[in-house]
Chain A
């Protein structure tokens, strides 16, 4: 329990108000005896990842829907195969990977997109990127490397992931308490 509290405090300290679409670069991996032992409650599902193929175009979004509170290991196509809804601010090179997901929000609130890498993300509403409200590195000893918060109203959104080095990427969408 104390470990959880310490982690929450560490995350709170790490959170920084966002200016524009700024996103924190991931922290370097610290030497840890075990990983993912101290996740905050809203991110507890991080370790229970199931596979999900990212959409490579807007037509594939319905089959690539992220469920709130359920972590996925996303399969990302190579960047040249992805037709983003909107050009990402950091598009990634031809040897990188990217993809898109549908988000359906029922309740207004602050939501966090947690990632297992330092990939760039955009959350789009009606094709336009939203400003993030906070961004943070993943705390030490978590495989979670980056968190970006958004204030969302009920509705449908598109999550774009770009400039990821690997073809697989753990992602979790969660509501902040």
Chain B
């Protein structure tokens, strides 16, 4: 077990080597990570700086990123639910129907593939455009509204200062591209490795559940791979897409992108970090509880009730209370030094 976990950390350390060059930039963001945890990889063209993370933090909570000012990133990604929410799917602006369940953002900076169904979407910078300007479904409704976004943000003197500090090489340009860079930088700071599992402080039932989880009988860890508890960190993005049930007609998952019939019903493995805080489950939010979600996996058919209880206890041991109460990730209470 320990060897398997260490192998996982090794992969993270390797990934972090990419980020080390970026960390050498002036005014770099100072990571505050548990011992032995490396920061996520950082793209060379979007180095982490404290000013950029601070800007991204504010933007994450700003509903002016939606057409009618009602929906911020945090409107779906609530911190107390590990940056997810309680609805099966979340409607977009003006009542637009939601389509898929909101994933948590725990450790999202370590993932090589980011959404339920698109293996080509590999960077947080690119992913920002999905909720902001996407139309399938409409979420924040900003397609074609880039000038309006710049007008709104540019009207705020504090934002002008923050963009200038975050993007001195671009003369503080305010636009969808710099918004995306800042949001991605903030999202990379959403690191969650302080659970009972990480601190080796699992309860006895959770320890029994841990053995079931990593054991060959149920093989949960073959897809929910530690330490991320998803295989979305693998080098090959297609590795992370699996089918646990036959495809249904309304959402064909990976096949919508690849156009291959055999990919119908395949969805990216969600991380189980903080999973107890993020019901409902599965790509459509159709499983209301953890046992509901577990029973939807074929290999859980022979699981006893006692084993289910232990497995659920283990999954609860992946909850990182420090992560969901960390003020660095919470709704900002000040703006340019002024209390709100």
A interface, CB within 8 angstroms of B: 16, 19-20, 22, 24-29, 79, 87, 89-96, 118-119, 163-165
Q: Which residues of A contact B156 (CB under 8 A)?
A: 94
- Docked complex Cα distance between A119 and B80 (Å): 19
Q: Is A92 touching B97 in the complex (CB atoms < 8 A)?
A: no
CB distance from B177 to the nearest CB of A (A): 20
Q: Is A165 touching B70 in the complex (CB atoms < 8 A)?
A: yes
Q: Which residues of B contact A20 (CB under 8 A)?
A: 80
Partner of A163, one of B69, B90, B331: B69
Known A-B contacts A28-B95, A163-B63; the reply to A89 vs B331 at CB < 8 A is: yes
CB closest residue in chain A, given B80: A20
**Interface residues of B toward A: which range?**
20 to 34
B interface, CB within 8 angstroms of A: 61-66, 68-72, 74-75, 78, 80-81, 85-87, 90-91, 93-95, 97-98, 152, 155-156, 331, 333, 340
Known A-B contacts A22-B85, A118-B70, A164-B70; the reply to A90 vs B91 at CB < 8 A is: no
Task: Identify whether the interface residues of A are mostly helix, strand, loop, or mixed.
Answer: loop
- Docked complex Cα distance between A48 and B35 (Å): 61
Task: Identify whether the interface residues of B are mostly helix, strand, loop, or mixed.
Answer: loop
What is the total of A-B residue contacts with beta carbons within 8 Å? Answer: 74
Q: Is A26 touching B75 in the complex (CB atoms < 8 A)?
A: no
- Docked complex Cα distance between A25 and B155 (Å): 30
Q: Is A96 touching B68 in the complex (CB atoms < 8 A)?
A: yes
CB distance from A43 to the nearest CB of B (A): 21
Q: Which residues of A contact B98 (CB under 8 A)?
A: 25
Q: Is B86 touching A92 in the complex (CB atoms < 8 A)?
A: no
Known A-B contacts A25-B87, A91-B63; the reply to A165 vs B331 at CB < 8 A is: no
CB distance from B139 to the nearest CB of A (A): 12
CB distance from B243 to the nearest CB of A (A): 28
- Docked complex Cα distance between A12 and B259 (Å): 42
Q: Is B69 touching A25 in the complex (CB atoms < 8 A)?
A: no
Q: Is B64 touching A93 in the complex (CB atoms < 8 A)?
A: yes
Partner of A90, one of B68, B74, B93: B74
Q: Is B91 touching A118 in the complex (CB atoms < 8 A)?
A: yes
Known A-B contacts A163-B69, A165-B70; the reply to A93 vs B90 at CB < 8 A is: no
- Docked complex Cα distance between A164 and B94 (Å): 11
| Known pairs A90-B75, A95-B152 / 17 extra A-B pairs, C-beta < 8 Å | A16-B86, A22-B78, A24-B87, A25-B87, A25-B91, A90-B72, A91-B331, A91-B340, A93-B64, A93-B69, A93-B70, A94-B64, A118-B91, A163-B69, A163-B71, A165-B70, A165-B94
